[in-house]
Structure 1
Amino acid sequence: MKKIILLNIAILFTCLLSAQVKITGIVTDVNRETLPGVSVSIKGTTTGTITDIDGTYTIQAKKGDVLNFSLVGMIGQSVTVNNQNVIDIRLVADAINLDEVVTIGYGISKKSDLTGAVASIKSESLTNSKVGTVTSALQGLAAGVQVSTGSVKPGGDATIVIRGVGSLRAGSEPLYVVDGIPVQGGLQDLSSVDIESIEVLKDASSASIYGSRGSNGVILVTTKKGTAGKTRVTFNASYGTQRMLNKQDLMNAQQYYELVSIAQPDYKWTSEELRLLSRGESTDWQDAVTQNGNYQNYNISITGGTEKLSHYLGVDWYDQKGTIKNSSFDKLTVRYNVDAIGSDWFRYGVRFNVIESKLNNINEETDSGYGTMFSAISSQPTAPIYTQDGEYFDGFLNTKANPVAMVDLLDKATLKTRIVGSAYLEIEPIKNLKIKSDNGGELVFYKVNMYEDGRMGQHYTEGGHANVMANKKKYWQTENTATYNFDLNEKHKFGTMIGFSASEVEYEEVTADSKKLSEILKYYNLGGAEEHGPNASYGVSSSLASFYGRFNYNFDDRYLATLTMRGDGSSRFAPGHRWGFFPSLALAWRLSEESFIKKNTSIISNLKLRVSAGKLGNQNIGDFAYSSTIALGGSSANYVFGNGLATGSVQTSIDNPELTWEKANQFDLGIDFGLFNNRIAGTIETYYKRTTDLLWQVPLPLESGFGSSLTNIGKIDNKGIEFSLNTVNMSVKDFLWTSALTFSYNKNEIKELYDGKQDVGKYLFVGKPIDQIYLLHSDGIWQINEASEAAKYNAQPGDRKIRDLKKDNVINGEDRDFGGVYTPKFYGSFTNTFAYKGFDLVTFFTFAGGHMINNSLNRYMNSYNTWGNMSVDYYTYYWKQDRPNNKYPAPRIGSAYANGDGTDANLQKGDYIRLRNLELGYKLPQSILKNIKASNIRFYFSVQNLFTATEFTGFDVESSDNTNPYPNARSFIGGVSMNF
């Protein structure tokens, strides 16, 4: 009997063994990058394995077993074994990833331990913007971070405002810190491929460690470091074309002739204009000065090393030919980072970056009123480009410039060389005590060579004009910190950091100007000109010294506290008022670690409540602004000397010995959440920030002899709410769909000005936002049956009607009223990523709304004026007796408010939603990559600015300049990314 039982057990065991099969597979991420170190286990057993360096695994399992796949930073997956022998898995990144380490001020922290409002952006997210700078690529990637297009010209940069405008004069851009070194001018000189991560410090707790420079938030950039192991080479190449968006629909020569003949029958046409009209031709000045631009970008990076020494080398070349002819920008970036472990207690490293760039023939922002596109819009279509003898036509009206001559003959080159470097030493004399000294700086050489040929038009100097401007900025800093972390009873975790820093910036500038010199000499020999000057030079310097510290407490990974203090002394303020002190406190409660949540629900995977409060500062003013200034020259400085006049010096500004810091007090409340194993994860935050002691030029009484004085005044409030959400919508076999949403709302309000004033100059108002619009309101067009009423206002049928709010039959400044704000009240983004086998598709939308835009081009295009051309829409719908509509006034010289100046006639809603990036990619399968020794090769095609829904009719709804705009473009880009 015993033998029978043993035999049956043996048979059963053999059957069980025979039921097991060998399962193999590859584990990759959404980008089809292989994932080593993934844990693969059979649910309910101790059987398991991990993936090797190529992401492959092998495990014995039977039908019905559940395989669990898990890796820190990724959302785990479970798969039931059926009849398959190969199970390939694609893991999705955990949007929260509580174990991920992020950069904070003078240190790092796990996400789970953060108590402040910190948004972390990985380098792969920056690829949503192929053309442009790193600054512009940040648009839509973090809630509360408003990125505005400053200029879309080649080499143009965007501006960033975090949680609302909080200053009248001292700027609202955040502090940018790259590898520990504060930089000015945004992030336009960086190469996105060199960036490892970007952290945005938004609240007082996270930003107060930077004290005097943190009131507008802080953006920390960490560049890539070397990795131990085999050398890895990455190569990226992209090329594309650009086509101008929103070409303005203007009248042709015949329509223009008809309209001028009605409004100005005595207008004197030039012989060249009559010749063009007689041939039935018309000049399209927009086409004449624009072209299809192109873009190309190539970069290569090499990383590798050992456990003791690692390095990263990156080389990037960016080249863009603009949509305005002869405009271009090219930039070469070289970065080299080295990190080394000298011993168990000694580490050191070096960061080195060199940038060389050249910007050609951009005059939009410096030649106000005569920029290329403004001239192209306003020049009369009856004017030819060239006269009969081949010279540039110069018989323009008030534009006084031939647009084609401007792009052909302007020679303007902006050259910049920037060298940035730092070196750090870190020692650990005893366990957990780290003492670090990080020293670095930057040297920037900037030069503008410009030559304006006299043939460019009446606006320019006859005989030619050359100007050379050169400046140099030298910055150095030292940061020295001591950090000590220790635990008590594995429940109480403490972290302390104290530090000292000092920095100094020196700036020098020289300008030389000459007129009437040949096009051969240009700016190469200013001494050969007939006229010289004005020439100028100056130099300034400023310094900052700081002491700071931070204390962290963590009880049982549930209750967290952070106390921060910083003291700054700045030479920019008056003696006795140079030191500012900026404390903050933040508390956090990880509710998801409490037993009453852990035991009762499997839905909540993360839940944390955060609250913080603190004070920040702003010193973004000129050097020595607290002291009076003296200038040479001016009529008031002339005095009798002998038989003639001599020129002396005169005081041009008044001093303010009380000038001190602009301060911002901020409160923040946030909730971080993750549901269903973080497949749904996000953050909700609300904040309140009050800025006091605003730095502003206060108007002075005339009897003082000065116009204004830089003074600390008033209060401004910013309050708002932010929301971000990341979801894994579908993950089925080879198909993956993820989404990301950000939404931000901000309310800005001036709470106090000075001396009890409720407004200043009718453009700053207590109780209203900083950028409140205040103007007359257009009320349509006076009609025939309103002739007698119109006469009371010296108007007639066909003129623009202005609302008489005071009902006194007089239109003046007293009839103005509020008409909205220029800054969006809300903004955000919506991203969808789809992946199927080797294909991926990304749709990236951005949106904004609740604001108005003054479409200043309308004042020329949608009313009759003596400046030049108008829109076809105006030609079709202007008022006349047999077409008595309310859209546009009649073409009449001298008509009051005809072009809408000072009224809301040119205001348009700024609401928009834009498909900023549509990208389709394909990655080669692993079977091919192995044969060519590559780990990843991806081809992609991207369309930027494919679609925009908006009521705005100008060149670009996001442009900060609607008078002299550089037109935005739709870009078509193809590229390849390869890793070896």
Structure 2
Amino acid sequence: MPNRFIGQFGIRYDILQNLFIKGNVSRDFSNYNYVGIIPTGTVYTTNAAGEYQGIKSAVSETNSLLTLNYNTKLRSLQVNAMFGGNQRNFTREEIYTNGTQYIIPFFYSFTNLATATTRPATQRLATNSLFGSLDLDYKGILFLNASARQDWFSTLGIKNNTILYPALGSSFILSQAVELPSVINYAKLRASWAQVGGGVPDPYTLNQTYSMVTSSGQPLQQITTTNGEYLLNNPNLKPFTSTTYEAGLDAKLFNNKLGVDLTYYLRRTTDDIVKTAISGTSGYQYSYVNVGQVDNQGIELLLTGSLLKTKNFSWDASYNFAYNQNKVVKLADGVNTIQLATSVGSWAYVNTDIGQPYGIIKGYTMVKDAKGNIVYDTSTGYPMKSGLTQIGQGVAPYTMGLSNKFNYKNFSLDILLDGKFGNEVFSVMNVYATRFGLQQSTLAGRETGLALSGVTASGDSYSNNIPVANLRLYYDNLKNYSNLFIYDGSFIKLRQIIFSYRIPSNFLKFAKIQSASISFVARNLFTLYKKTENFDPESSYTNSNAQGFEAFGLPRTRSFGLNLSVKF
């Protein structure tokens, strides 16, 4: 069972009337114990004697923040200035216990294993920061913000471990400065330019290290794995930089019943740190590299509205929509493509190619002639296999969300829908389902054989009949045509429902409670729209930057809970 603690302590000291120092320490700690049992009698285990797997994990993050703050007013100009520093420390400590063959059948204990191993794993990383900001407010009409931050990352080499990134933003309350039509109650224009940076997410990737291997004789070592992967070290990595240009409009109309928030942005990331797959003959699986330039540009729209309001009832709604156009402009010098991930069986790949969106899916298809006829290999009787080609896009360019909130006296009901559109998913599970004859599509030909027709490589007409006895081999061969297992990953889900009751204040006076409410919360309730078969369109085999594969992924967990909120 997971346990989590989140705590924070802050203190402030006023040096002068407008000058004060503020310190804050926050800590987020969680631990998790997991035991997996494969019971005695499971045939595929050694001697059918079962297996054991255990994980004990403790994760903590501590942030120590100290700031010096100054504020004053110079006639019509309000000034706020701040300078400070922060130290972030992250630690992950895990112990993996694994073993096989229970000595005493059905006694599932780590002490009851014929063979057992214990492997500790520790990760520590830190980020030190200095930063400052200046905020100017002129008559509540014109606002200007300037800031800068310098970070030092423990996961990068000493020569490349720091980066300075500034930011500049401004906003103008148009409705305060000029008279607008009566339907416009509020209007604000805003624009900003900002940079952020970052280092490698995993520690210990700069230098080659080795770990002990359990051995009954000569001591042995192997390359240290990072999150279970053999990672080729790269000591020359440098921080990535993301520069964002943004412009937007905020408005409220029709007596504040309609709100509009529209944003256009261009985000340019240079030297992005990407995990890329490399040849297994090197003895490694992946390596982190700096990617030249990736551009993201798009729009974000938020509409809010008060649709109905009476004495005891109200209905408020909000709708958000976002479109992101992604393009890889440049990779490393002399490199036109980077492979981010490979599916089981190497049936499909997630790549980054110059001139294409980030994270395209590549695979193989059946060769067809100009008229769309399948081209068959006469020696095998199977369709010819194409070269590696793009068959999908792993990242959805469109996202949306719709929220409705209903209030009736002390009761409230929140309903949230969300969705993603425009991406594809390669399903490893459906590859296996087809190979093993579990898909409905494999029913064809089971009674009288399967009739095939097309053309040969020379363009001649071709026909063939796969007898029932050979159907298993035919359907197994379909694994070579990746596009047969590509699905539209678009979906709409009923993401969350919250039903709340606000306890009347006259019931709380005796306990000196200001307010209290109790809520029933349900999440991941239903999928209202999808085009995938046999799997959740949100399923993914990894949470890394390689999106677009599904491999026997479980659907999102449906959860129900009660929440009690009390304010004293």
TM-score by length of 1: 0.48
Q: 1:709 to 1:439 in 2, by over 3 A?
A: same
Contact 1:878 1:885 in 2 (8 A): no
Aligned amino acid, residue 100 of structure 2: K
- Give the equivalent residue in structure 1 for 2:85: 500
Corresponding position of 1:766: 354
Once the two structures are TM-superposed, the CA of residue 540 in structure 1 deviates from its matched residue by 4.2
The aligned residue for residue 529 of structure 1 is: 113
Structure ranking higher on relative contact order (CA contacts 8 Å, 6+ apart): 1
Partner of 2:184: 604
Distance 1:442 1:966 in 2: 28
Correspondent of 1:903 among 445, 458, 482: 482
Partners of 1:841 and 1:857 in 2: how far apart? 38
Q: How far 1:880 sits from its partner (Å)?
A: 5.7
**SS of the residue aligned with 1:692?**
strand
Q: Which residue of 2 is the match for residue 965 of structure 1?
A: 553
User: Match for 2:244 among 658, 666, 670?
Assistant: 666
- Contact 1:566 1:582 survives alignment (8 Å): yes
Unaligned runs of 5+ in 1: 1-357, 359-415, 639-644, 781-785, 802-809
Give the alignment partner of residue 334 of structure 2, picking from 748, 752, 756.
756
Question: How far apart are residue 471 of structure 1 and its match?
Answer: 4.0
Amino acid at match of 2:113: A
1:682 aligned residue: 260
Map of 1:566 onto structure 2:
149
The equivalent residue for 1:544 is 127
Which residue of 388, 413, 438 maps to 1:870?
A: 438
Separation in 1 of the partners of 2:201 and 2:127? 13
Q: Determine which structure has the larger helix proportion and give its number.
A: 1
Q: Distance in 2 between matches of 1:755 and 1:656?
A: 16
Cα distance in structure 2, aligned partners of 1:504 and 1:544: 7
Find the counterpart in structure 1 of residue 528 from structure 2. 948
Q: Do the aligned residues in 1 keep the contact of 2:183 with 2:253 (CA within 8 Å)?
A: yes
1:474-873 to structure 2, matched below 5 A, reads: 474-489=60-75, 491-517=76-102, 518-519=104-105, 521-525=107-111, 528-533=112-117, 535-594=118-177, 596-597=178-179, 600-631=180-211, 656-696=234-274, 709-761=287-339, 763-778=351-366, 790-792=376-378, 794-795=380-381, 801=383, 811-812=385-386, 814=387, 816-835=388-407, 842-861=414-433, 863=434, 865=435, 867=436, 870-872=438-440
Residue deviations 1:627-679 (CA, integer Å, cap 9, x gap): 22235569xxx9xxxxxx95565777765443221221111111111112321
Cα 1:767/1:437, change in 2 over 3 Å: same
C-alpha contact (below 8 Å) 1:795/1:896 kept by paired residues: no
- Count of paired positions: 525
The answer to which structure has the higher strand fraction is 2
Which one-letter code corresponds to 2:307 in the other structure? N
Question: 2: CA distance between counterparts of 1:480 and 1:890?
Answer: 76
Task: Give me the TM-score of the superposition, normalised by structure 2.
Answer: 0.79
Contact 2:79–2:136 at 8 Å: present in 1 too? Answer: yes
Following the alignment from structure 1 to structure 2, what is the Cα–Cα distance between the partners of residues 632 and 937?
Answer: 55
Contact persistence 1:944–1:972 (CA under 8 A): no
What is the letter of the counterpart of residue 36 of structure 2?
M
Is contact 1:629–1:654 with CA below 8 Å preserved after alignment?
Answer: no
Picking from 437, 441, 451, the partner of 2:23 is 437
Change (3 A) 1:532 1:739: closer
1:821-854 Cα deviation digits (max 9, x unpaired): 1222111112233445666555432222111222
Describe how 1:238-637 pairs up with structure 2 within 5 A.
358=1, 416-459=2-45, 462-489=48-75, 491-517=76-102, 518-519=104-105, 521-525=107-111, 528-533=112-117, 535-594=118-177, 596-597=178-179, 600-631=180-211
Distance 1:746 1:540 in 2: 34
**Equivalent position amino acid for 1:845 in 2:** L
Deviation at 1:942, TM superposition (A): 6.9
The 3-state SS of whatever aligns with 2:64 is strand
1:240-296 CA-to-partner distances (Å, cap 9, x unmatched) read: xxxxxxxxxxxxxxxxxxxxxxxxxxxxxxxxxxxxxxxxxxxxxxxxxxxxxxxxx
How far 1:521 sits from its partner (Å)?
4.9
Q: How far apart are the structure 1 equivalents of 2:526 and 2:283?
A: 55
User: Is the Cα contact below 8 Å between 2:171 and 2:188 reproduced in 1?
Assistant: yes
How far the C-alpha of 1:721 sits from its partner, in A, is: 0.8
Secondary structure of the equivalent of 1:516? strand
Alignment of 1:120-131 (within 5 A): none
Go from structure 1 to structure 2 and tell me whether the alpha carbon gap of 1:465 and 1:577 turns closer, same or farther (over 3 Å shift).
same
User: Pairwise mapping of residues 153-172 of structure 1 onto structure 2 (< 5 A)?
Assistant: none
CA distance in 1, matches of 2:20, 2:219: 62
Q: Deviations over 1:781-819 (max 9, x none)?
A: xxxxx89x63447326xxxx5xxxxxxxx524x2x4322
Mean Cα displacement is larger for which, 933-942 or 621-630?
933-942
Alpha-carbon distance in 2 for matches of 1:631, 1:931: 62
CA contact (8 A) 2:23 2:67 kept: yes
Which sits farther off after the overlay, 544-553 or 947-956? 947-956
Q: Is the 8 A contact 1:955 1:968 kept in 2?
A: no
Q: Which amino acid aligns with 2:171?
A: A
Q: Is the 8 A contact 1:914 1:949 kept in 2?
A: yes
SS in 2 for 1:742: strand
Contact preservation (8 Å) 1:508, 1:539: yes
> What's the offset of the Cα at 1:683?
0.7
- Given that 1:461 and 1:515 are in contact with CA atoms closer than 8 Å, whether structure 2 keeps it comes out as no
Distance across 1 between alignment mates of 2:441 and 2:261:
47
Distance in 1 between residues matched to 2:256 and 2:519, nearest whole Å? 30
Cα drift, residue 770 of structure 1: 2.3
Counterpart of 1:903, as a letter, is S
SS in 2 for 1:430: coil
Identity of aligned residues (%): 20
Q: Structure 1 residues 702, 976: closer, same or farther in 2, change over 3 A?
A: closer
Give the secondary-structure state (helix, strand or coil) at the position aligned to 2:41.
helix
Question: Cα distance 1:710–1:721, how it changes in 2: closer, same or farther (>3 A)?
Answer: same
Residue aligning to 2:492: 913
Quick one: distance in 2 between partners of 1:921 and 1:473?
33
C-alpha separation between the residues in 1 aligned to 2:98 and 2:559?
38
**CA distance, structure 2, for counterparts of residue 690 and residue 441 of structure 1:** 33
- Call closer, same or farther: CA 1:979–1:818 in 2, change over 3 Å: same
Write out per-residue CA displacement over residues 82-102 of structure 1, whole angstroms, 9 at most, x where no aligned residue. xxxxxxxxxxxxxxxxxxxxx
Find the structure with the greater CA-based Rg.
1
CA 842–870 in structure 1, closer or farther in 2 if over 3 Å, else same: same
- Are residues 847 and 879 of structure 1, via their aligned partners in 2, closer, same or farther at CA, if it must alter by over 3 Å? farther
Matched to 1:423, the amino acid is F
Q: Distance in 1 between matches of 2:6 and 2:560?
A: 33
Residues 916 and 694 of structure 1: is their aligned pair in 2 closer, same or farther, counting only changes over 3 Å? closer
Structure 1 equivalent of residue 343 of structure 2 = none
**2:286 and 2:406 mapped to 1: Cα distance?**
58
8 Å CA contact 1:611–1:670 kept in 2: the answer is yes
Contact 2:498 2:519 in 1 (8 A): no
User: How is 1:139-218 mapped onto 2 (pairs within 5 angstroms)?
Assistant: none
Q: 1:890 to 1:487 in 2, by over 3 A?
A: farther
Distance 1:461 1:426, change over 3 A: farther
CA contact (8 A) 1:573 1:624 kept: no
Q: How far is 1:495 from its partner?
A: 0.5
Tell me the residue number matched to 1:320: none
Structure 2 spans left out of the alignment, 5+ residues: 225-230, 340-348, 455-465, 542-549
Q: Secondary structure at the match of 1:895?
A: helix
CA drift at 1:589: 1.2
Structure 1 Cα separation of the partners of residues 508 and 55 of structure 2: 52
CA distance in 2, matches of 1:473, 1:515: 28
